[in-house]
Structure 1
C-alpha cells in the first residue's frame, strides 16, 4: 500500500464494475454468502439505490462500503420489526458491503471509507445507522460506536449481528472520521491560515513591477480597504512580519525619546516590552497574569505617576485568547495626553476594531485578514517622524511620501491581500463569533480548561490548558491524523502544555461543529500518567517600573 490512496463516492462505470468484482471476491469467495458464477462478479440487488464510498490506489479499486436509505432494508428481510429494537430517530441509513482487499485492511482505510459515507448521509438528515456486522469484525464495529441489537441473523458460517449507531454514539466515537473522509484538512492555526480560492488564484498570477500603474492602483485599493476596516487615518503596507511592523512603531517612538507604558498579560505583551527596550525607550510596565485583565485602578495610578507620552498594548493577546479592551485605555490616554499604540496583529479582521485616534497600530496579511504571510501593516494617525530619522526599511514617512512603494514589493502578496479583503466583513465576524461560542461551550462541557475567562475572550482564538496527563504535542499529532491542524509548537505553548484553536482563515462549518467530539476523543486516547507539576502560568497582577 502506498501513500496515494484516494477516498471518494463512486461515480464512473469503471468504478461500478470494480465494485461488482470486489463484491464477488468478498461475499462469494471469502465469505460464502452467495453461490459462485463464471463471470466472477456480484451485482448487489440494491445496486441502483446504493451510494458507494470507495478507496482507490491509482486506478485500482481496493475498498468499498455502501449506504442506502430506502425501505425495505436488507436487514428487514432477516429480522422482523427492526424498528422495535431501535431508539427514536428521524431517518435511518443501512450500511452494507464493507469490503477491503487483504493488503489494505488497516484501520485507517476502514475509517476513511466510513468518513466519506458519513459525510454523504449526514447531509441527508440521517441520525441512525444500522448494519449486519460480520462476527469476525464485531470489535471493529463496537470501536466505531455500533451497539448490537436483536438475535444473530443468517446461517453459519455466514452469520451476522444486527447493530445500530445513533447520532449521539456517532458524535462520541466516529465524528472525526468525516475529517478523514477525503475532505480538505481543517487549519485552525493562528498563521499561516487557510485561504479562499480567490486569494490563492490572485497570488498565482504572474508578478508585475512594483513601479507599474497597475501595482500602485492595487496597493492603493488595499490601503483604502485597510483604512475602512480599521477606522485609521492611513495604512502603510511593507514587506515583513508583525515583528517588523512593531519595530517600525518602536523606531517612531524612539525619535521622541519620551517615556511610556507597556501593558503585558501574555507572550505578545512581553514582546512589546522587548521591542521598547531594544529601542532604548524609557518605559514602565504594567503586568497582569496570563489570561487575566488589567487592573483599572493600578493603570490609573501608573498613568498619574509616570505621566507617559505613549501607551503600547496588544488588542488580542494571541497566546491566551484574551481580548484587551481598547476603550478604557484610550480614554485614559486622552485624559493624560498620551498616545495609544496597539499591536493589532491578530485582532484586525478577526472582529470589528476601532483604531481611530490610535497613534500607531501593527497588523499583518497572514492572520485574520485571510491572506498569505509576508506583509507588515502599520496604521497611523498621520503624525510620522521625518524622513531619514530611522532605518530605511522602517521609515514610515518615506513609505508614505513614495505612495507606499519606497522599494521592491511583491505584487503576488499584495494581490492576495487585495483579494482577501474583498469581503463583507460583518457577516464573517458573526460567523466567527457563533462558531467560537459553540466551541467554547462544548469544550467546557467536556471538562476542558480554557485560558481566557468568560467575558474576556477574543472570538476566534481559543487557548486550551491541558492537564499534565495529556501531552500537547501528542494530542496535536492525533488531531492532525483526524484532519485538523492546531497550534502547539510555539515555545510559550510548549512550556505550558497548551494548544490553540483559531478561526482566522477559511474553515468548514461542519468540521467545526464536530470538533469538540474529535478533540475529546483524541484527548482521551493520548492521555498518559505523568507526575503532576505546578503550572507556571498562575495569574498575577503587578506594576513593574521599567
Structure 2
C-alpha cells in the first residue's frame, strides 16, 4: 500500500464517528469478545463524548483508529486502581489510549505505526508525559514495537485478556517505531532548522563582550552583514526584529517633515503601530493584504511635507514581495529617506540597500542562525540621541557594544552567514517555484501569486475547511507549516516557507499529503452539508 493512499487525522465528522462505532464493534465484539454482539453492529464507547479519536483514512474509509482521553478515572483506574500506584516513577500529565484497532486487511504494520507516530506527536503537543493502555495479549509484540511497556497485573477474562501498558516519549524513542520516525520538517518563516555547524558554534565557551577577541569577532560579523546587502554600516542589537524597527522609529522621530508608511499586510500594520507609539507624524497608504503598490498610488500620497517612506520589503503575512527598486526610485526622485523592514528578505533573496536610509534584519529566519539578534543598516553617520537602549547613535559610538552582548549568538550568526551565497538564493527560488507549480497543478489558490516573495507561499484554504485543522494534520504527519498565527487563522490561510534546505522527495510528499487532506476535508464536509448532518 502506497504511503499516499492513506493519512491520519483527528475525527471530526458524523460519518467518521459512524465508521468508528462500526470498527469498534468489529474489533471488540466480533473479533475480541469483550462486548456483546448486537443487530446494529455498532459499538459506542461509554467514554465517546470525552474521546479524541485518531483515525487512518484510505480514500473515504476509516481503516484504523485509536482514542485518547485525559479525564479521570481512566478505565484502567477502575480495573487496577489508580495507575500511579503501580509505577515506580512520578506521573504529571497522563492520558489513556484505548480502542486501538485496524481492519484486518490493513494489518501489515504500516497503519499501526502511523497511528503510533501520530499519537506521540499529538500527545507531546498536548503536554501529556505518559499514555496508558490496556493492550490485548494477542498483540503484545506489536505493542512492544510501538514503545508500550507492560506494568501491573493482567485484566479481563480468559477470552479477552489485557495487559496494562504505558508509553512515554523515552520508551517511544527507543522503540522500533520511534527509531524510524522521521524528524519534523519545518516549513516556517522562523524558527528554521539549525545546522550542526551553527549549533556547534553556539556551544563555544562564552567570552566577554568587552574583550578584544569579542570586538574582533563582532567587527567581522558586521563586515559580512554589510557586504551582504551593500550597506556602509550595520549595528547589532540583542533582541528581536521589533526592537530593530523601534530603533528605526526612534531615528525617524528626529527627522523633520511627515512620513508615509506603506501597509499591505500584518507587518506593515505593525510599522504603523510602532510609528504611532513614537508619536511620529505620518500618512498611511493602506492596501488589501497581498495587493501590490503601484507607482501612481505611492506618488499620490507624497506631499511637499513628506520627508520619509517606511515599508516592509517581504511581507510575510501574505507572501508579497514589495518592489524595492520602485521604492528606491520614488524615494530618489522625491528626495525622501527610504526605510525598510527586511526581516524576512534578508538571507532569502539578494537585497541591495544602496539608496536606503535605514533597514532592519534579524539573525533567525532565512539567515538560519538562532533568534535573538537584530540589525539596523545605514549609510550615514549617526549621533547619540534617546531613549538610550534604542539609540542607534549610541551603538555607533560604541562599535555596536554599548551594553552586554552574547558571544554565543554572535558565533552562531557568523557560522550561518558563512553559508549564505548566490546558491542559497537560487535554492530558495527553486523551492518556491516547485511548490507553486505543484499547488497550482492541484488547483489551489495562491495569494500574491504575481508578486510573490520567494521566501514563502500563502495558500487560501476553501471556506468550509478550517486552516487550523489542515495545519494540525500536517504537523502530526511531521510537516510543520505556518498556520497558528492569529492573522492567518482569521483569513483561513496556510503558509509554506521556502528558506530551509529541503529534499525534493520531502517537498513532493508534503504537497501530495496537503492536497489529499484538503480534498478529503472539503469532500466530507460538503457531503455532510448535503446530507444535513
- Asked if the contact 1:187/1:507 (under 8 Å) is kept, the reply is no
- Asked if the contact 2:257/2:305 (under 8 Å) is kept, the reply is no
2:313 — aligned with what? 315
1:436 is the counterpart of 2:432: yes
- After superposition, the C-alpha distances for 1:304-346 in whole angstroms (9 at most, x for unaligned) are x354110000100000110001111111111111100000000
Alignment of 1:146-157 (within 5 A): none
- After superposition, the C-alpha distances for 1:379-436 in whole angstroms (9 at most, x for unaligned) are 111242x31x211211111111112111111111111111000024101111111111
Give the Cα–Cα distance (whole angstroms) in 1 for the partners of residues 354 and 258 of structure 2.
23
Alignment of 1:321-340 (within 5 A): 321-340=319-338
- Asked if the contact 2:235/2:399 (under 8 Å) is kept, the reply is no
2:72 — aligned with what? none
Alignment of 1:143-292 (within 5 A): 182-292=181-291
Judging changes above 3 Å, is the alpha-carbon distance between structure 1 residues 106 and 281 closer, same or farther for their aligned structure 2 residues? same
- Asked if the contact 1:474/1:526 (under 8 Å) is kept, the reply is no
Give the Cα–Cα distance (whole angstroms) in 2 for the partners of residues 415 and 525 of structure 1.
47
2:503 — aligned with what? 508
SS of structure 1 residue aligned to 2:525: coil
SS of structure 2 residue aligned to 1:529: helix
Give the Cα–Cα distance (whole angstroms) in 2 for the partners of residues 306 and 360 of structure 1.
21
2:163 — aligned with what? none
SS of structure 2 residue aligned to 1:342: strand
**Stretches of structure 2 lacking an aligned partner (at least 5 in a row):** 1-103, 118-177, 528-533
- Asked if the contact 1:343/1:363 (under 8 Å) is kept, the reply is yes
2:514 — aligned with what? 519
- After superposition, the C-alpha distances for 1:10-43 in whole angstroms (9 at most, x for unaligned) are xxxxxxxxxxxxxxxxxxxxxxxxxxxxxxxxxx
- Asked if the contact 2:444/2:459 (under 8 Å) is kept, the reply is yes
Query: After alignment, is 249-258 or 310-319 more displaced?
Result: 249-258
1:474 — aligned with what? 469
TM-score under structure 1 length normalisation? 0.63
TM-score under structure 2 length normalisation? 0.65
Give the Cα–Cα distance (whole angstroms) in 2 for the partners of residues 509 and 200 of structure 1.
25
Give the Cα–Cα distance (whole angstroms) in 2 for the partners of residues 318 and 474 of structure 1.
21
Give the Cα–Cα distance (whole angstroms) in 2 for the partners of residues 180 and 469 of structure 1.
38
Give the Cα–Cα distance (whole angstroms) in 1 for the partners of residues 381 and 307 of structure 2.
14
- Asked if the contact 1:236/1:404 (under 8 Å) is kept, the reply is yes
SS of structure 1 residue aligned to 2:309: strand
1:363 — aligned with what? 361
- Asked if the contact 1:370/1:506 (under 8 Å) is kept, the reply is no
Give the Cα–Cα distance (whole angstroms) in 2 for the partners of residues 247 and 310 of structure 1.
16
- Asked if the contact 1:195/1:505 (under 8 Å) is kept, the reply is no
Give the Cα–Cα distance (whole angstroms) in 2 for the partners of residues 345 and 180 of structure 1.
37
Give the Cα–Cα distance (whole angstroms) in 2 for the partners of residues 495 and 514 of structure 1.
27
Alignment of 1:529-540 (within 5 A): 529=525
Give the Cα–Cα distance (whole angstroms) in 2 for the partners of residues 399 and 104 of structure 1.
63
1:345 is the counterpart of 2:343: yes
1:497 — aligned with what? 492
Judging changes above 3 Å, is the alpha-carbon distance between structure 1 residues 222 and 108 closer, same or farther for their aligned structure 2 residues? farther
1:416 — aligned with what? 412
Alignment of 1:380-419 (within 5 A): 380-384=378-382, 386-387=383-384, 389-419=385-415
Give the Cα–Cα distance (whole angstroms) in 1 for the partners of residues 107 and 461 of structure 2.
38
SS of structure 2 residue aligned to 1:309: strand
Aligned residues: 363
Judging changes above 3 Å, is the alpha-carbon distance between structure 1 residues 403 and 194 closer, same or farther for their aligned structure 2 residues? same
Which ranges of 4 or more aligned residues in structure 1 deviate by more than 4 Å? 102-106, 110-113
- Asked if the contact 2:311/2:340 (under 8 Å) is kept, the reply is yes
Give the Cα–Cα distance (whole angstroms) in 2 for the partners of residues 208 and 279 of structure 1.
35
- Asked if the contact 2:345/2:455 (under 8 Å) is kept, the reply is no
- Asked if the contact 2:340/2:360 (under 8 Å) is kept, the reply is yes
- After superposition, the C-alpha distances for 1:205-244 in whole angstroms (9 at most, x for unaligned) are 2221111222222211111111111111111111011100
Give the drift of 1:112: 9.1
**Stretches of structure 1 lacking an aligned partner (at least 5 in a row):** 1-99, 114-178, 532-546
RMSD: 2.5
Give the Cα–Cα distance (whole angstroms) in 2 for the partners of residues 190 and 523 of structure 1.
22
1:109 — aligned with what? 113
- Asked if the contact 2:201/2:412 (under 8 Å) is kept, the reply is yes
